[in-house]
A = this chain, B = another copy of it.
Amino acid sequence: MTNITARERLLNAAVESFAEKGFSGTTTRDIASRAGMSPAAVYVHHDTKESLLFTVSLEGHRHSLDVISAAAATSNDPVERLRTMVYDFSLWHADNSRVGRIVQYEFHALTPEHRAEIAKLRRGIEKTMQDALADGVDKGVLDVADIPGTALALLSLGVDLVRWFVPGGTRTADELATLHAELAVRMTLRAPSSRASR
């Protein structure tokens, strides 16, 4: 009970510190003091500093994969589905921008084994977006010449927002996600004339 709480307090402290100073810029003493504990207490609940990063990164990647997968299953209409996927993916990054920064920018700090495991989840995210575009093209609703490249561009909208988004700024997470969803549709929608020609 208290075991779980202390472990999670340390994980939350690690998220704060990694997001603010990066993995290499964070000391185990930082994490411990943010969690209100002595430096040695970190090692009661976590093996190494890197395993803390791996736990945070794995959880973050799983969440964002879950979010985009769930969105992909909400509709059979390619346009509405794409709108939901981009909206939810960008919203998740805005609502979790600290975890998002760790997910996106600290990938290289993982051990090769952990990196390989997380790379699989990343491929899953890209695949989900590619499949949604391919289905829309098949149904004649979307016009996408370069599916992998366009999928990456759509994901970039969500990914890159963690670099500058601040909660409580001039723009809400919902407004940003709505904008991204609209831009995504415009990037991929087949023009009326070419749709008529089908």
Q: DSSP majority for the A interface?
A: helix
> What residues of chain B lie closer than 8 Å to A150, measured between beta carbons?
179, 183
Partner of A24, one of B24, B160, B161, B192: B24
Report A148-185 residues with CB < 8 Å from chain B CB: 149-150, 152-153, 156-157, 159-161, 163-164, 171, 175-176, 179-180, 183
The chain A residues found within 8 Å of chain B, CB to CB, are 20-25, 104-105, 108-109, 146, 149-150, 152-153, 156-157, 159-161, 163-164, 171, 175-176, 179-180, 183, 186-188, 192-193
Q: A105-B105, A159-B163 are in contact. Are A153 and B183 (CB under 8 A)?
A: yes
Partner of A186, one of B22, B179, B186: B186
> What residues of chain B lie closer than 8 Å to A23, measured between beta carbons?
22, 24-25
Q: A149-B176, A153-B183, A186-B186 are in contact. Are A21 and B24 (CB under 8 A)?
A: yes
Provide 13 A-B residue pairs closer than 8 Å at the C-beta atoms, listed in order of the A residue.
Answer: A22-B23, A22-B24, A22-B109, A146-B179, A149-B176, A149-B179, A150-B183, A153-B157, A153-B183, A156-B156, A156-B159, A156-B160, A159-B160
